[in-house]
Structure 1
């Protein structure tokens, strides 16, 4: 408490900055997820007032995240809005269990290429979906459908069949957010998303623009406690898969954000297991309230650090400001055009695409680039959870292939002399075809000296293959095979076919 009070001069203004950044993002993520705008604010309030007080990370801020938009939208379409709270509740309980079991640190073992691919896939789906939204069109349900229908959407833009005013407003929002960093410092003191929303709302009111706006029901009216129908959704395989996807992706995004935020300040480091538990408690409460799932969000967290926050006070206060705003000024949400929120999310989706990482991987790590691209494509064409699993599987396969290098050196000592084969590296089943091709190409009438002292690893498949080949080689010739190091008696008997 003393530490918090000691830094209130830095934390108070920082909390206001984070609040101003959080308002449009909470509302935009909720709308894009297909849920009432107030539920996004509820998640932001819980992230500030509850998770903000819990141990784990000191400066990162939690709330609804663009990274879960695709998954939430799919869950709402599949199970219904009434089931969302139960799904989030179950995911939160799973996160608490993972935190108590100290699994938080293991999230740091995920391939960075898979993470970048996941973010890129989410970003692309977010961009594609919002392109249809700002054009007044219903987006196809599948990622592939969103891509194949793009020519028709573009035709609507140029023929005037799209919602021209909303489309221009969304485009202007993206341009404004992109150029905001180049404006004078006094102007940049206002958060870019807030400026875009305020300008669009003012223009809509001043010129009487006929564009769809955010629908407001009130904060208390948006709270939806879990129902029996909602619990029924979790009992099926699809529901359990969604819960697992919520928990794993929200946990990964939170802990990756924590690692990034830790590099931005010199204060206390994140306790990953405690942070995972804190996120679980937050999601459990969000589920009980029927709100969106939460993660630690890098945009708000970075704004918190850059605004000079020193302790947890700033993120707790940002939750308080969200609560006061939603309770006292709910009508202000009804002034916000949906098109400007679509523009904010298109810009947020573009920032999820790791352009610099793509260039770096192309120059030096093209295998990792393949993992990234495949993960991205799999997420767009299938589902977020399936795409991540495909990416992780490919990364594991790539790592296994690269770490199983086997060097085979063959030396012919001349007429009458033995063939010397020296094996080094890792002899695993992945290299078995090459090993057998080399051994089976040897002439049967020559003695062989097989040196495997430099092998770091010899798995059961390769060892069995070597012994089997040795047995066949000695059975068809009068020449012997010399092993270095020598085989055990049982292995030697197996190699020569004796029992």
Structure 2
């Protein structure tokens, strides 16, 4: 666990200084935040396990391991790991292919080892090439999905599992049609009252929360959960028609004894290690889980008020260690999860102590007070997630991207739309494809300039020349007439792609047949043309 964190504070005269915050001083915010995250994570772990066709307890195991193990190993201060909705389809399909749950656990453990192997190949650095417009689009899409997905739960309809991010639902509806269906046929006043009052309180508490005194540490979501439990119990006593049914409450598996609790843990069937299907599932889980984790961690870095940067490659080691242990003791595969991480940031966490502690709270709660947890209405948790969704999806975010221009706004909106109408993984891939098109187009423009003054020509590289600049370089050199004196200025280019080097070399070899005098500025390897300190004279651009 980190011994200290860097804390930014405003000094006099508006100068930002960095001061050290001890581990103990950060607990004042990390402990309340960890409780909020645990309350949010609990139904998500159960819902994802149910949607995956796995034992419910396996989702809790993954949540506990994601908090304690991954939280300890990770260098991310704010991301929270656990079972992810993006893996439900893979898990569901794998359980149909593999002969038993224990064989699937072997695949989960092996996927963790594969992620550790990816750490040694430094594959995590690839995430740094994701455009920021796609990352912010992903965050906004998650916020929008949280709002749309939680409204039916707030109205008393739970046809879609908690934590789902897919547009199409298991009940045949989709994210948008479920809203009309819930409002028309499942408009239950009990859940709606709890959700509405809870949501109003959360926004009021954010605006009016005391800045000093002990109340400053009181998490609004915890108040909402307590209110939801007490309100539903009051409904049972005084207004039975408003009471919320058990299907709309948290449903934690209850063990009758410590031995029964321990008996819910399972171990892999190592005798199946030679099965080809086991390795196929393991590789699929490793690739998808790594992609989701890296993008989530990068997104959480964007949310971090201190803008700390996480070592993405090291995150593969942390996730791999978590998946290996989760598979060994009977848990689902896990990733860094944006919903829980966003709730962690929104709750005011400062260090990774919050993520680690949330794992301990999950373990203690399912071990000691499962009956109490089963009194929590999903409507209260829906209000918490709706507020988190709004914080990820503020109008200011759209305005800022619009002001940055089309090359930022279009990939941003495309990513939001793709994630909303497909799922997280497919949406990110679509957003990345569109984002990279704009990146290429932006970098393709005016990389090479041409200027001339009578018989003197200057062809300049304004920045590094990559493969995409081949056509522009060829076109620029093609303007040089026979008998001219030419300078190719590469001083502003630290890198020239080998294909562009070949173009320059071909031009140099052809120059002597065209009576062209050629010189080059800049230290670029593998150029055959003679380098001279060519005269610097002002010329008019062609």
The bucket for the TM-score relative to the shorter chain is: 0.7 to 0.9
Instruction: Tell me if the contact between 2:146 and 2:385 (Cα under 8 Å) persists in the aligned partners.
Output: yes
Structure 2 counterpart of 1:249: 292
Query: Which whole-Å CA distance do the structure 1 matches of 2:69 and 2:476 have between them?
Result: 64
Three-state SS of the structure 2 residue aligned to 1:253 is: helix
Cα pair distance change 1:123/1:12, threshold 3 Å? closer
Three-state SS of the structure 2 residue aligned to 1:263 is: coil
Query: Which whole-Å CA distance do the structure 2 matches of 1:129 and 1:80 have between them?
Result: 26
Structure 2 counterpart of 1:483: 518
Three-state SS of the structure 2 residue aligned to 1:202 is: helix
Structure 1 counterpart of 2:378: 338
Query: Which whole-Å CA distance do the structure 1 matches of 2:79 and 2:520 have between them?
Result: 59
Three-state SS of the structure 2 residue aligned to 1:243 is: helix
Three-state SS of the structure 2 residue aligned to 1:121 is: helix
Instruction: Tell me if the contact between 2:64 and 2:362 (Cα under 8 Å) persists in the aligned partners.
Output: yes
Cα offset, 1:207, TM superposition:
0.9
Unaligned runs of 5+ in 2: 5-21, 237-242, 256-260, 522-526, 531-542
Per-residue CA deviations over 1:314-340 (Å, capped at 9, x if unaligned) read: 766654444332212111122122333
1:214 aligns with 2:257: no
Instruction: Tell me if the contact between 2:87 and 2:285 (Cα under 8 Å) persists in the aligned partners.
Output: no
Cα offset, 1:205, TM superposition:
2.0
Correspondence for 2:109 among 89, 100, 115: 89
Cα offset, 1:411, TM superposition:
3.4
Three-state SS of the structure 2 residue aligned to 1:195 is: helix
Cα pair distance change 1:474/1:427, threshold 3 Å? same
Q: How does 1:85-164 map to 2 (within 5 A)?
A: 85=105, 88-100=108-120, 107-108=127-128, 110-135=130-155, 136=157, 138-139=159-160, 143=166, 145=168, 152-156=177-181, 159-160=184-185, 162-163=187-188
Cα offset, 1:29, TM superposition:
1.8
Correspondence for 1:451 among 487, 506, 525: 487
Structure 2 counterpart of 1:497: none
Structure 2 counterpart of 1:430: 468
TM-score between both structures, scaled by the size of structure 1: 0.72
Query: Which whole-Å CA distance do the structure 1 matches of 2:316 and 2:529 have between them?
Result: 53
Structure 2 counterpart of 1:387: 427
Cα pair distance change 1:166/1:235, threshold 3 Å? same
Three-state SS of the structure 2 residue aligned to 1:345 is: helix
Query: Which whole-Å CA distance do the structure 2 matches of 1:96 and 1:371 have between them?
Result: 32
Q: How does 1:197-276 map to 2 (within 5 A)?
A: 197-208=225-236, 209-211=243-245, 212-218=248-254, 220=261, 223-226=265-268, 235=278, 240-254=283-297, 257=300, 263=306, 276=316
Instruction: Tell me if the contact between 1:116 and 1:353 (Cα under 8 Å) persists in the aligned partners.
Output: no
Cα pair distance change 1:302/1:226, threshold 3 Å? farther
Compute the RMSD of aligned alpha carbons.
4.9
Instruction: Tell me if the contact between 1:21 and 1:300 (Cα under 8 Å) persists in the aligned partners.
Output: yes
Query: Which whole-Å CA distance do the structure 2 matches of 1:303 and 1:195 have between them?
Result: 13
Query: Which whole-Å CA distance do the structure 2 matches of 1:58 and 1:98 have between them?
Result: 18
Whichever structure has more helix as a proportion of its residues is 1
Correspondence for 2:219 among 172, 184, 191: 191
Query: Which whole-Å CA distance do the structure 2 matches of 1:207 and 1:230 have between them?
Result: 52
Instruction: Tell me if the contact between 2:145 and 2:420 (Cα under 8 Å) persists in the aligned partners.
Output: yes
Correspondence for 2:450 among 395, 409, 414: 409
Query: Which whole-Å CA distance do the structure 2 matches of 1:131 and 1:357 have between them?
Result: 22
Cα offset, 1:452, TM superposition:
1.4
Structure 2 counterpart of 1:23: 38
Structure 2 counterpart of 1:495: none
Unaligned runs of 5+ in 1: 491-499
Query: Which whole-Å CA distance do the structure 1 matches of 2:105 and 2:393 have between them?
Result: 30
Cα offset, 1:441, TM superposition:
7.3
Three-state SS of the structure 2 residue aligned to 1:335 is: coil
Per-residue CA deviations over 1:186-218 (Å, capped at 9, x if unaligned) read: 666432222222222222222131432222322
Per-residue CA deviations over 1:289-334 (Å, capped at 9, x if unaligned) read: 224625383643775755xx8x96x766654444332212111122
Query: Which whole-Å CA distance do the structure 2 matches of 1:189 and 1:148 have between them?
Result: 41
1:371 aligns with 2:390: no
Structure 1 counterpart of 2:65: 46
Cα pair distance change 1:350/1:447, threshold 3 Å? same
Correspondence for 1:286 among 310, 326, 335: 326
Query: Which whole-Å CA distance do the structure 1 matches of 2:168 and 2:73 have between them?
Result: 43
Cα pair distance change 1:484/1:195, threshold 3 Å? same
Cα pair distance change 1:282/1:157, threshold 3 Å? closer
Per-residue CA deviations over 1:197-255 (Å, capped at 9, x if unaligned) read: 22222222221314322223226365444458998796476763343111232244346
Aligned residues: 469
TM-score between both structures, scaled by the size of structure 2: 0.67
Query: Which whole-Å CA distance do the structure 2 matches of 1:362 and 1:79 have between them?
Result: 42
